[in-house]
Amino acid sequence: MNETPIYTEYHPRWYRRRVSTYWWLERSSYLLFILRELSSAFIAWFVVFTLLGIRAVKLGPDSYQAYLNWAASPFLIIVNLVTLFFVVLHAATWFNLAPKAMVVHWRGRKVPGEWIAYANYGAWAVASLVIALILLI
């Protein structure tokens, strides 16, 4: 509330509730929201993981091998599996919500939101395929 409330004889004491610190546990949709937002931390981790890889490549064959061994340690694999869950969650929620912000008109008509989401998923598939081909072949 912006201003101090003016109490009158009719409502002498409004009862104000406080938002719980754990409000995001109160509803499944809130929990999904906070998990979606937490994906940001895992995206930051992915960038650090990638930069360490680039650094290892730059330093020489031994460093690169050490990096690959490090990435193959059980702890790192678990960390990266969790990260994978979060980045996929980010991608899926992002593509699903994209039509909300982007309203596209084509020949004077609104393009249905699902089409925009499908276009996003299509682009995702193409980008993933291209990167996979470059790295695997």
Partner 1 sequence: MADTISLQVIRYRPESETEPTTQEYTVPFRKEWVVLDALNYIKDQIDGTLSFRWSCRMGICGSCGMMVNGEPKLTCATFLADYAPNPVRVEPLTNFPIVRDLVIEMSDFMRKLPRVKPWIVRDQEKPLSEGEYRQTPEELDEYKQYSMCINCLLCYAACPVYGLDPHFMGPAAIALAQRYNLDTRDEGSKERMEELSQHEGIWGCTFVGECTAVCPKHVDPAGAIQRYKLSAAMDWFKSFLMPWGKK
Partner 2 sequence: MAKRTIEPLLWTLFSAGGVIAALFIPIQLLLFGVVFPLGLAEAPSRERMLGLIGHPLTRLYLFVMCTMALLHAAHRFRFTLYDGLQIKHLNELINLFCYGGAIVLSIWTLVLLWHIP
Phi, psi of 105 (to 5 degrees): -105, 135
Rounded least distance, CB 103 to partner 1, Å: 6
From the list partner 1, partner 2, none, which binds 51 (C-beta under 5 to 8 Å, kind-based)?
partner 2
CA dihedral 74, 78, 79, 82 (to 10 degrees): 170
- For position 27 contacting partner 1 by CB under 8 A, the verdict is yes
Cβ closer to partner 1: 13 or 58? 13
**Which of 67, 127, 133 has its CA nearest to residue 95?**
127
- For position 107 contacting partner 1 by CB under 8 A, the verdict is no
Cβ closer to partner 1: 12 or 61? 12
**H runs (alpha helix) in 72-112:** 74-101
Which of 48, 81, 101, 136 lies at the binding interface for partner 1 (CB under 8 A)? 101
Rounded least distance, CB 33 to partner 2, Å: 9
In this structure, the strands spanning 105-106 and 109-110 are: antiparallel
CA distance 101 to 111: 13
Which residues contribute to the site for partner 1 (CB under 8 A)? 1-2, 5, 11-17, 19, 23-24, 26-27, 29-30, 33, 37, 97, 100-103, 108-110
